[in-house]
Chain A
Amino acid sequence: EDKVVQSPLSLVVHEGDTVTLNCSYEVTNFRSLLWYKQEKKAPTFLFMLTSSGIEKKSGRLSSILDKKELFSILNITATQTGDSAVYLCAVEAGSARQLTFGSGTQLTVLP
């Protein structure tokens, strides 16, 4: 069975701090890894990673994938209170094109 594990489960930081969120996976026929941000409602797409070692960046957020060690990290620099959310990692694998999600990391940024 495909498995995605995120750590830490929760994290509390102050504005301006830098955080690193982790995602490891064990899947059959890996296709891609995706990061989503979930505030109150729908998860919103952040990044899709398919190749090792290539950093994807969007503003203060960046992510990288290591297909040899089977993990990805999501970095957020200079955090703001608006970054408070659950960050979800998901892996697409196999021919069924379904995503397997991790349990998420609850990030709280205090002013």
Chain B
Amino acid sequence: DTAVSQTPKYLVTQMGNDKSIKCEQNLGHDTMYWYKQDSKKFLKIMFSYNNKELIINETVPNRFSPKSPDKAHLNLHINSLELGDSAVYFCASSQGATGVAFFGQGTRLTVV
């Protein structure tokens, strides 16, 4: 059973397009996250979402918006894609006070 799953695994799209990446977790966790990993392998938090409370990293452009239809899903929607958005995007989830985040397999986004 996959604990945190993301789709698609690979996404190639043109500049200016709008795209979404889906994430689902079956761990029963109450907090979900989106991270961006750049070409230098630096993982940086974009959003965390807990019980309808959204915490946004202030450096994230407002073209990025998370959408959570329910506790088990946190999708990432990106408007007007730019070349610099090319990266691997990881979804993660955690429960309560443990702080241990479990990661999905990542979505490699390439903007051409």
Residues of A within 8 A of B (CB): 31-32, 34, 36, 38, 41-45, 48, 86, 88, 90, 92, 96-101, 103-104, 106
Q: What residue of chain B has the Cβ atom nearest to residue A42's Cβ?
A: B103
A–B Cβ pairs within 8 angstroms, 12 of them: A32-B99, A34-B99, A36-B103, A43-B43, A44-B103, A48-B99, A97-B94, A97-B99, A99-B33, A99-B101, A101-B42, A101-B44
Q: Is the CB of A45 within 8 A of B102?
A: yes
Residues of B within 8 A of A (CB): 4, 31, 33, 35, 40-45, 48, 50, 55, 57, 90, 94, 98-106
* B48 surroundings in chain A (CB, below 8 A): 96-98
Measured CB to CB, the closest approach of chain B to A40, in angstroms, equals: 9
| Cα–Cα, bound, A38→B42 (Å) | 12
| Cα–Cα, bound, A47→B1 (Å) | 22
Q: What residue of chain A has the Cβ atom nearest to residue B46's Cβ?
A: A98
| Cα–Cα, bound, A44→B55 (Å) | 24
Residue among B41, B55, B103, B104 making CB contact with A104, cutoff 8 Å = B41
